[in-house]
Structure 1
Amino acid sequence: MIRRLLQIFGIAFLTAGAVLYFTQHPFSSEDKANASKDTEISELKQQLAEVKMALADAQQSSEQKNESGKTDGAAAEKPESEKQDPVIKTILTLSPGDTSRDASDTLEKSGIIKSASEFEAYLTKQELSGKMQIGQHEVDSSMNFAALAKELTTVKQ
């Protein structure tokens, strides 16, 4: 009688242990698959950002070649001072909740950069898109992407 009672308790404990184990780890193989998918997605996003940067560079060099090929021999060369675009200066104010996309769009609208998507891709590639700092940032159109990114990720007081 006691032996039978001990067997029932043993089976009950084993069953309870199995139930607890499977409720704590219900889909461990699916979790691993999801984690590998997340890693793959982030790698693909990074590759996409790199391809966008390469495309932007290729488009820019293509535009420069087209512009240099448009001048005819009869036209007089413009003086160096007329070739350069005027430098545009502005103060960009980032408020709490503003994203790097907001900053990129504002910079493009104000004429500081030519393409918000190129700048956003640069920020993503450099892992700076989530590091924008609130405050007022002095920027101008002579700044390259690296200088703009440094300015926008520097804490202002």
Structure 2
Amino acid sequence: MNKAAIRFLGVGLFLAGAAFQIHLMVGENDQAKGDITPQAYKQAQTELKNVKNQLAQLQLDLDNAQQEQTASETEKKVETADTASNEATNSVLHIQSGMTSRDISTSLEQAGIIQNKQDFEDYLIAQDLSSKIQIGQFELNSTMTIKQIAEIITK
């Protein structure tokens, strides 16, 4: 065989391979379109309905759990409020010469009369009462408001 014949044979084999490859690619596209049979479509729809039902059930379960959690938290808040109202903390506040509003706020918070010393101190400053605090002993309890406590210690 001569060189030209071998070249033609090689080019022929290359073209035949390319033609087979093109045929397979076109055939796969046709088969992919034809794979969806009515039975496969019905099965996919059934699976989709099942998944939607499961999702709806999970959503209901989540809603119920959230409602139970909210109810539980509400009951705890009510119990805490009842306990707090039943257990009012009484204390005698001793204000001495040289004590600042910060010192008094800290004492009240430590005694359990107020929840937040910064709120009380801010109230005294905002109402211009920090310079009007009186020296002495004052009976206070935790059911009093910040305003009531301020009125008592600034009379």
TM-score (norm 2): 0.48
Q: Which has the higher helix share?
A: 2
Computing the radius of gyration from Cα coordinates, the structure with the larger value is 2
TM-score (norm 1): 0.48
